[in-house]
Homo-oligomer: A and B are copies of this chain.
């Protein structure tokens, strides 16, 4: 049985605690959070503390706090030579204080508190400084997910960057679609089958094969019409830039 302490009560921490609670070989022995408020809203009945000096003995300490708070929290840990990891995509292993054995446990998914997540399909990217710690992280990750990858800090940063494009930026395009439809009295729900199919299409084919639309067809007439319909300058800029990028992608192909 692995004993784990979670530091933080954000979206990732909350879903991680719930996933570990279901695992047979992991016990979340404690949750730490600086403020009492975060702890109170947590669906966790076990031991919790707001005092970093009261951290319990464990096999792994998982820091799951905002990126810019990871370093400082790792410094404030009062002990040394234990396995301390963080869950961030863009923070390198070296930003953790070196008095402890360092590692990364990065679940590549978008988490919202209100929404249940099937952790078994969430890829978990792990990294450690030695093979024994890597094995511990591998077993922790495998206890909640079927996809575990060993990814070093350099590659993880690139992966996190790619994730921003396919998740955060994609969601913002959904938002623009939402604005355009609602503004014109069209229910957003009419676009949902299209959104679903666009995501489903790349399950078994590359996005390049699946590209469609006016920019792909070099249909300058429709592109101009669309630019005239757009009233918000930023949306116009986004339309222009993404069309240009699509045209260059397929233009380059032709050469």
Q: Which residues of A contact B (CB under 8 A)?
A: 11, 66-68, 90, 108-112, 114-115, 117, 121-123, 125, 147, 149, 151, 154-155, 157-178, 180-181, 183-186, 188, 190-199, 201-203, 205-217, 219, 221-222, 225-226, 229-230, 234-235, 237-239, 241-242, 244-246, 248-249
Closest Cβ of chain B: how far from A216's Cβ, in Å?
7
Number of copies: 2
CB-based contact A175/B248 at 8 Å? no
Q: How far, in angstroms, from A90 to B227 measured CA to CA in the complex? A: 12
CB-based contact A110/B168 at 8 Å? no
Select from chain B the residue with minimum beta-carbon distance to A193: B121
CB-based contact A184/B170 at 8 Å? no
Which residue, A110, A185, A209, A235, has most C-beta atoms of chain B within 10 A? A110
Q: How far, in angstroms, from A176 to B174 measured CA to CA in the complex? A: 17
Q: How far, in angstroms, from A202 to B111 measured CA to CA in the complex? A: 13
If A195-B167, A214-B168, A222-B90 touch, whether A158 touches B175 (CB-CB below 8 Å) is no
Q: Which residues of B contact A199 (CB under 8 A)?
A: 170, 195-196, 198-199
Q: How far, in angstroms, from A68 to B161 measured CA to CA in the complex? A: 38
Q: How far, in angstroms, from A157 to B184 measured CA to CA in the complex? A: 10
Select from chain B the residue with minimum beta-carbon distance to A149: B190
CB-based contact A178/B197 at 8 Å? no
